Structure formats: structure tokens, C-alpha cells
Structure 1
Amino acid sequence: MSGGHGRAAQADPLDGDVAEALALANGDRDRDRDRNRDRDRDREASRADGTRATDAAFDGPADGTVGDPSDSGHRAGDRQAAPPGARSAPDTPHGAPAPQDGTGHREGTAWSAARRAAAQAGRSAAEHRARVARAAQEQSSRTARAGTVGTVGGAASLPVPEAVAETRHPRTEREGATGASDALAPVPVDENQLPLPGLPFTAPAPPPPPPVAPPVAPAAAPPAESTPAGTVPPGATRTPLDRALGLVLAAPLTALTDLPSFDTSAMDGWVVAGPGPWDVRGAGILAGHDLSMRLADGEAAAIATGARIPPDTTAVIRSEHGHLDDKGRLHPLRDVAHGQDIRPRGQECRSGDLLLPAGGIVTPAVLGLAAAAGYDELVVVPRLRVEVLVLGDELLTSGRPRDGLIRDALGPMLPHWLRALGVEVTAVRRLGDDAKALLKAVRKSTADLVVTTGGTASGPVDHVHPTLSAVGAELLVDGVTVRPGHPMLLARLKEGQHLVGLPGNPLAAVSGLLTLAEPLLRELSGRAAAHPEPYSAPLHTPVHGHPRDTRLVPVVVRQDEESGHDWAVPLRYNGPAMLRGIAAADALAVVPPGGATEGQEVEILDLPWSWGPR
């Protein structure tokens, strides 16, 4: 990068305005801080001693049962307000003004309202993706009918895939330049390895997509009825079975054939015709072999499980339920019912039956069902793309903490946690406390969601808010009344693209992930219908509460042997910087302001690895 001389050197189209934009945003914030410093000092001094002591218990050093060092990014001090220039969310139910305490201190959005705001943002982004995909689909249809390469919005002639890309990611004058050096170019390394501090990291590149066939005239297209899964909805894609695990069905799964598609034997034994005893033929019937045998009354043949049943037969006698005499005749050892141990054609489903509705998650069992029903590929919602930006000069990627440096816990943890939410993590970039690098990374990202760690407060090297101001982002949630995780935020970078700013403390980051990122990704990916319903459980022991904020406390859910009811057992190590409790937990308990008593029912947030039947 060209540093402060970006305009003259022209090494990168973004360098020339990065410093200017950040200086403007930081300058506004600094002037605002200076103007209000005395007033804020007076307000803080006027706070009641009891309230200060309570806040310290949650945000300052403690014994680990209640709090830990500050819950505000990598540094102490909750941020007071967004810097001038950042756009606030409209005054809607999900973006209502934050409540204030008696001193005028901004508290942030209520926890439940923040989750609703994130879910609404996901729904809006999903609707935008569908509109873009529908427009591209209509453009492709018009191009195919014309038999020529089409254009988008009157722009210069482009091949259809490029036209779609132009619709989805409009280029600005700055972003459109080519040949510029890029100091943030990711260094490919093994997925389980992190590079040295300051170097970006990206997961191994996925295999290139197959080439797109050129448009063809309508007459050459296959008829609709010959397409197994019907028309692909806008924004969906066909994916081979071996790559569909964890994705969401974008279209109903209907049977392409009867299951089973012919009468089959449910057991090893003999297939018989008419009343017994039966003469046993020498040749048996095996699964997967062509059947030309027909049995007359009084005849039987050995048969294997899954083998096709000859026409006009009576039943299958299991091996343990029949006996051969000295003449080789078969005698039953118990009564024989007509049709016993025969799986008739269509027993499980008939061709055209609905097997699963759209919106279900593709599990291993779904893959097996789809294969049995005749599918080679499924119509699914494409996996969302997420980019993680790890901030902080104090982070080590290997070895023990030393000399004021600490190990980065979020870089190794967040990508896998996000994958558990069903997304593709396209890159993990380590940017340190470089404001210019952060602004450039946010501007150039094409991911559906950008996740940052740390830097969300208002300290001297907390650059997330100035960056959002510089790119003209719309703040949807700016601080949440929850502990840990108070300084988390959610912003709309542009239509269909969002940024979730997580605090730098590990447990606070988990809180932000489940409060903001999970609801947004759930709605955007179409996983809402398959998500487990919220539930509650009584607390096994009381939990102290914050006077104003919700608390998220790691718990294990255990069944009481006598009553059979589930209990939420709070775990001790639950400070904002601690992972010992969450590593042993399978859920988070939502503790209301003021705390909860033993036996009180509280909402339970299951962690991704505990979703599903216990």
C-alpha cells in the first residue's frame, strides 16, 4: 500500500481516500469526545455507588462466577454513541431508540429486540437475493429467446454470467480499477493453521465451478416434465448429493418412483406359491438379479432379502420358520399368512408423493432418502459466504502468552462455529489494529456477511465505528443490553450485505454470535423452518443478575432422574474473557435483569453442536 501518498503513487485505487475517510470519521469522533468529556465525567461522578459497584462486578476483574475484565472489545470502556456520519436504523420496532439510564448513558438495544432486528435483516437480505436472482433469471430467458448474448440495464454487451455478477455486485469507480497491488491478498494455508500476526489467512480455495453452458433456443431445452426436480426457484441451485449435506432444500422433495419400485422380499428364506408343503426349486433368487422365474402352486424357491418377488406368489417364509424333509420338500413351522414378509411396491411412497417440504436441512438421512427416490442432485439454497476479520495487535497465533501478548482464541474458534451455522467461511484475515487495512477489507469484501472481532468500543484503536461511518453503513443495532457482549453491533453495508461486529473477549464474542449473527444467517439461509423451537428449563441453582441487562450464562442441560424433567445447571467460569465454561456447556441460559432464583424457568439457547434430539 502507498501509505499517506496513495493519491500520487496510485498503487491502489482505494489508498487515496482511505486515510481521508478515516481521518474525517476519527476527527468527528474525537471532537465529539472532547466536547462531551467534562459532561460525561460529571455524569459518571453522579452515579450511585451501588450501581458503579454492580457494573464493576460484571465488567471488571472478578472471581469468574460473575464477571471478568472489560466486556468492550479488546480494551476497557463501553462506547457511548456512534460517531457522526454513521446512519442509524430507521425508527421501526426492530430499530427503536436505545433506552437510557438516569444519567443519560446509552444502554443499547434490548437483547430480544436485537435478535429480532438481526432476523429481520436476514429476511430483508433474503428477499433482496431473490429479487436479484429473479432479475438475472428473466434476463437469461430473454437472452435465450433472442438467441444472442444479452445486456443488463442497457449496459455494454456482456455474457450472461458476467451480467448476473454485475447485477449482484455493482462496481464503483474505485473498485473497478485493475492491476493494483493488494497488501491484503490472502495467504493460502492449511485450514487448521493460522499464519503469523499481520498476515491474512484464507481457507483453501474451493474447486472452480463447472463452465456455464451458452444459452440455447427454447426448442432445444428439455421439457419441464423431464426435469426431475422441476423448475429451480430464483436464487437456488442444483447441487450433487455428495456436496449437499447441511444445505437447505429450496424446493419440495417428491418421489421420482414408487418405493420400493417392485415387490421385494423382506427376509432371507423361501418364496412360496399356493398351499404347502412345497417342492423347492434348485435355483434361488438373489437381490439385483433379473427375474424370469415363475412359480406354480405347490412350488417354492430360496430367496434373499431385497430380491424381487416372482409374480403370483403367496408369501415369504423366513429361514427359521421352515423345515426341509428328506425329500427336499418345504414344511412351514407356523401358520403362513398371505403376503407375509413381502414389501409390496409403493409401500413407502408412490411416485409423485411429497417426501419433504422446502426449507428442511439436508441431513445424511435426507441424502439417503433422495438417492433411494432416484435423485442425483438436489435443489438447494446456496451456502452463504462469510468473511472473518480478526483485529488486535496483541494477538499471538502460536505459543504461550507473553510480554503483554495473548493467544488469539477467536481465529481458531469462529470459522468452525460459523460452519456449524451452515455457512462457508471464505477467508479469515488477520488485520491487527490497522484502520486502513480494515477499511479496505470491508470495502472490497464480496461476502454475504463480514464478521469482525474486537474494535467495537470507542478506544484509541477501536476502528470499527469509524470504518462503518466511512463506508456509509446503516447501523441496525449499536450495542445490546446483554452481558457479556454489550458492545456488539450489526450494520447493513449495502443491500444484501451485512457486518456483525463482535467484542474481542471470547465469551462476549460468542454472545454476539448467537445474538446477532445466528438469527441473521438463519433467516438469510432459509434455515428458519428447520431451527429448533425455543424452550425453557428451570435453573438448578440461582444465578446473579445485572441490574439492567440480560445475562447469557453457560449451562449444561441434565435430566432429573426422579422427575424426568430437564434442569439447566449453571457453569462457574462465565466471565467475558473465559472459555472454560462454554467449552463444557451445551446451551446458554437467558437470565433476565435482576437475576433468577433456583427453579425459575429461563429461556435456553442451544449451542450448534447440541441441536437435535438429546
Structure 2
Amino acid sequence: MISRTLAEHRRIVAESLEPVPDLDVLIADAPGATLAEDLVAEIPVPAHAVASCEGYAVRADDVAQASPGEPVTLMVSHDVSVEARAPRRHIARTAARLGSGAPLPEGADAVVPVSMTDGGVARVTVTFPVAVGENVRPAGSELAPGRVLVPAGTRIGARQLAVAAALGRPRLLVHPTPRVVVVSVGSELFEPGDARGGVAESNGHMLAAMARDAGANAYRVGPVPDDRMRLAATLEDQLVRADVILTSGGLSGGREETLPDVLAQRGEFEVVDLALRPGGHHGFGFLDAGGGRRVPVIALPGRPPAAAVAFQAYVRQTLLAMSGRERSVGMVRARLTQAIDSPAGLAQAVAVRLIPHGDVPWAEPVGDPAAMTLADVAASDALLLVAEHATSLQREAFVECHPWER
């Protein structure tokens, strides 16, 4: 077993996990991935000025004198189709009938709503004037050419997908979503509700949800007992669909715990005594997947609060980096409601509740930092990590907090 500071372990894990190679995918397959290129409007959207309501395209000057007492009558030159790819030329002192979203004929500069006319087909009587640009959406009013609409590094959701489609992009270059297999290890573990009793397995559910929140596709496996053959077979089966394997438990060094041996026999693996509290053994290594491919394995402690802290402390930012997103996304600057003592040489994790207060919220510690429980984790909003070199933080000190969810 080796000893490491949190900063050292975080760096080793981050440097060992490379981003998944970029892929060119259909936009239908892009949601959840991270954009690897800027989405830039190369042409204006809409490409031409269009009507914002149903009515008649006119020159504003031709109906400037219209009133209910003295309406203006114009010939209807044509009906504009919403399917028209380019506008026709407008004829002076006429009107073109058109629907909402239809392109304005070239030379027309306003639209008279149907409600301000008699709705004529061959001729139309206009009873109110309109100003230049009235009821018209100019070219580029939705998407202006040359503008970066969605920057690279943005996670693609419904809104980003709509922009890509509006730009006419059938495919996108993306950082694929990392595939994380979550394996819970321990013969004492049972599925929640299992009639046989034992310890209800919670880490797998928690870590899979945290991985998804960090932008990964997570697949929960387990619980898997401390049996060499079953554990080895489980890990072998998961290599084909894993970019990362995340385990919890099986690291305390007991005679029956087999995870380090199984991992070391099929690749390389180190058990780490990490300077982080809540404590427990951690681990990192690689499994040989064949063909020169190695799958990284991040091993977390089996105690749920320690597993949750470890994920926040050094796994979340690694998954964000693998998916092409900023590591610091979502950090919250807050002010402590009370002083905190911290052991020298250890990074102390403190569960905190964020209380709104102007521009900078208060961070209120939950429970006893020296004995964090799963209940403390559930009752808190974020995690504060006190650095190894700090032995205390004063009341009202400014701190950076890691929200549990983004």
C-alpha cells in the first residue's frame, strides 16, 4: 500500500484517464454528449425577412393614408407560399397575400394583418396604416451569421439540438459520453428489499446516479461477493462496454477481500492510503482488455459517506474532463456560518447546507465533520474540502463548495 495526498491522487487519476476520441454523429445521437466544435451561424436564420402574422405584404408608403373612414384598396398580386425558397419581387401599389412565416417579396417592407383589412382575394381594402418593418421578422433575427451560438464544451440538450437543426446541421462533432460501469463488492451486500437481509447495497445506486450527473452513461452491476472467480468474471464481462470501471468496497485488507488481487492479476493496481477524511482505502489501476486497450479502474471505499466524498473529491472532475466539459463547472462560492477545525495533514470533507444570502450564500456544516454519516450527506447540498495544510477555517471565511448535483 502506498500513501498519497488528495492532490497527488487527483492528479494521477486525471492524467491517466484520457478523453474519449471525438466522433462525428447524427444530431439524433448527440443528446448527452459534449460539443467538440463551436456551432456558428454561417447563414442568417431566417434567410429572408418573413411575416410574423397572417396578412398582406405591402410597401408602408402605399397604405400610409389608410383609415376606417378612407380605406386604401390595393390589387392582390399573388399569394406567397411558405414553401417558397426565395421571395418574388414586389409590385408597387399592390399587396401580396401571405401567411405567418412566409418570406416577404423583395421591395415590400411591412405586413398588414388580416384583421386590418376586408380579407379580399383579388383586391384588399386596408383600413389602418402600418410602419416600415411592422409585423416583419428581419433576416437573421433568429440566428445572426458569424455569431457563435453554442460554444465547444457545452453539453448537448434539447435547446442546443434545436440550434443545430436550425442551422441545417445533420451531423455534429462531439466528445462521446464516457461509459462508466459501477461495481459494488462485498459478500455482505444485498439488493434493497432482499428477504435474506444483510447490508442493503446503496453505493452502486448512489455512484451510478452521481456518474450520470457528471455527464457519463452509468451501468450499475452488483452487488458482487468477495469471490475471486465471480469477481473476475464480472469484471471481464464489463470490459467490452466500459471506458471506466468504478468500484466500491473490497479494499479494507481483510483476508476475504479479493478485489486488489483480482485486479492486479489482470492488469496493474495499487491500493492507496489517501490523506482524506472520511477515510478508508482507495485504489487505482488498469485492466487489460486485449488488443492493447486498457480500461482504468477507480476503487472507492465501501462506507457510503466515504464513497460519496471520494467521488466528489477526485472522480467527478475526471469524468467531466473525459467528456470534454470544464472541470470546475458548478463550484459555489460561499461563506461559513461557523468556524471549522481540521486535522493537520488530512483533507477534511465537510457536508454543508447552502443558505441563500444575497450574492454569496452561507455554508452551514451538517453533522460532525469528524464522523460524517450518510444522513449528513443526504441532508446537505454540497461538499467543502478543507486543504491538508489548513488546521482551521474561521467563521465567515469564503470557501469553494462542490454541489452534490449540477
Question: TM-score normalised to the size of structure 2?
Answer: 0.81
Q: CA deviation at 1:457?
A: 1.9
Deviations 1:99-133 (A, max 9, x none): xxxxxxxxx322233323322222xx33xx6xxxx
Residue 16 of structure 2 is matched in structure 1 by 121
SS at match of 1:507: helix
Q: Which amino acid aligns with 2:213?
A: A
CA distance in 2, matches of 1:569, 1:284: 66
Residue 413 of structure 1 is matched in structure 2 by 206
Q: Which amino acid aligns with 1:604?
A: C
Q: Which amino acid aligns with 1:557?
A: L
Query: Which of the residues 281, 284, 303 maps onto 1:487?
Result: 281
1:583/1:297 CA distance change after superposition, 3 Å: farther
Residue 346 of structure 1 is matched in structure 2 by 140
Q: Does 1:451 align with 2:246?
A: yes
Q: Which amino acid aligns with 1:523?
A: A
SS at match of 1:371: helix
Gaps of 5+ in 2: 67-71
CA distance in 2, matches of 1:295, 1:572: 74
Q: Does 1:581 align with 2:379?
A: no
1:293/1:524 CA distance change after superposition, 3 Å: closer
1:377/1:290 CA distance change after superposition, 3 Å: closer
Q: How many residues align?
A: 387
CA distance in 2, matches of 1:409, 1:577: 16
Deviations 1:138-160 (A, max 9, x none): xxxxxxxxxxxxxxxxxxxxxxx
Q: Retained in 1: the 8 A contact 2:278–2:371?
A: yes
Query: Which of the residues 289, 305, 330 maps onto 2:126?
Result: 330
1:266-281 equivalences in 2 (<5 Å): 266-267=52-53, 270-275=56-61, 276=63, 277=66, 278-279=72-73
1:290/1:371 CA distance change after superposition, 3 Å: closer
SS at match of 1:113: helix
Residue 224 of structure 1 is matched in structure 2 by none
Q: Does 1:558 align with 2:344?
A: no
Q: Which amino acid aligns with 1:238?
A: D
CA distance in 2, matches of 1:555, 1:285: 62
Question: More displaced, 484-493 or 343-352?
Answer: 343-352
1:516/1:438 CA distance change after superposition, 3 Å: farther
1:52-201 equivalences in 2 (<5 Å): 81=1, 108-122=3-17, 125-126=18-19
SS at match of 2:334: strand
1:328/1:440 CA distance change after superposition, 3 Å: closer
CA distance in 2, matches of 1:265, 1:584: 53
Q: CA deviation at 1:510?
A: 1.1
CA distance in 2, matches of 1:538, 1:110: 26
CA distance in 1, matches of 2:150, 2:338: 42
Q: Retained in 2: the 8 A contact 1:274–1:297?
A: no
CA distance in 2, matches of 1:392, 1:453: 9
SS at match of 1:581: helix
CA distance in 2, matches of 1:324, 1:547: 84
Q: Does 1:604 align with 2:401?
A: yes
Q: Retained in 1: the 8 A contact 2:23–2:176?
A: yes
Q: Which has the higher helix share?
A: 1
1:210-225 equivalences in 2 (<5 Å): none
CA distance in 2, matches of 1:374, 1:274: 33
Q: CA deviation at 1:538?
A: 0.7
CA distance in 2, matches of 1:474, 1:461: 18
Deviations 1:497-532 (A, max 9, x none): 211111111121111222232232222222237x52
Query: Could you say what the CA RMSD is over the residues aligned between the two structures, in angstroms?
Result: 3.5
Q: Retained in 1: the 8 A contact 2:330–2:402?
A: no
Deviations 1:233-256 (A, max 9, x none): xx3323232331120123343446
Deviations 1:181-202 (A, max 9, x none): xxxxxxxxxxxxxxxxxxxxxx
Q: Retained in 1: the 8 A contact 2:191–2:223?
A: no
SS at match of 1:605: strand
Q: Which amino acid aligns with 1:422?
A: G
CA distance in 2, matches of 1:364, 1:346: 21
Q: Which amino acid aligns with 2:110?
A: A
Q: Which amino acid aligns with 1:517?
A: V
Q: Retained in 2: the 8 A contact 1:537–1:604?
A: yes
1:416/1:533 CA distance change after superposition, 3 Å: closer
Question: TM-score normalised to the size of structure 1?
Answer: 0.55
Q: Retained in 1: the 8 A contact 2:75–2:93?
A: no
Query: Which of the residues 540, 545, 559 maps onto 2:337?
Result: 540
CA distance in 1, matches of 2:206, 2:330: 25
Q: CA deviation at 1:466?
A: 2.5
1:313/1:587 CA distance change after superposition, 3 Å: same
Residue 377 of structure 1 is matched in structure 2 by 171
1:602/1:514 CA distance change after superposition, 3 Å: same
Query: Which of the residues 155, 162, 169 maps onto 1:361?
Result: 155
CA distance in 1, matches of 2:94, 2:125: 9
Query: Which of the residues 175, 183, 193 maps onto 1:399?
Result: 193
Residue 433 of structure 1 is matched in structure 2 by 226
Deviations 1:418-447 (A, max 9, x none): 222222234513321113332344456242
Residue 299 of structure 2 is matched in structure 1 by 501
CA distance in 2, matches of 1:589, 1:341: 53
CA distance in 1, matches of 2:149, 2:80: 31
CA distance in 2, matches of 1:512, 1:401: 31
CA distance in 1, matches of 2:330, 2:200: 36
Query: Which of the residues 76, 84, 100 maps onto 1:305?
Result: 100
SS at match of 2:187: coil
CA distance in 2, matches of 1:238, 1:364: 18
Q: CA deviation at 1:408?
A: 0.8
CA distance in 2, matches of 1:344, 1:427: 51
Q: CA deviation at 1:490?
A: 2.3
Q: Does 1:247 align with 2:45?
A: no
CA distance in 2, matches of 1:245, 1:573: 41
Q: CA deviation at 1:357?
A: 4.0
Gaps of 5+ in 1: 1-80, 83-107, 130-234
1:288/1:281 CA distance change after superposition, 3 Å: farther
Q: Which amino acid aligns with 1:606?
A: P
SS at match of 2:393: coil
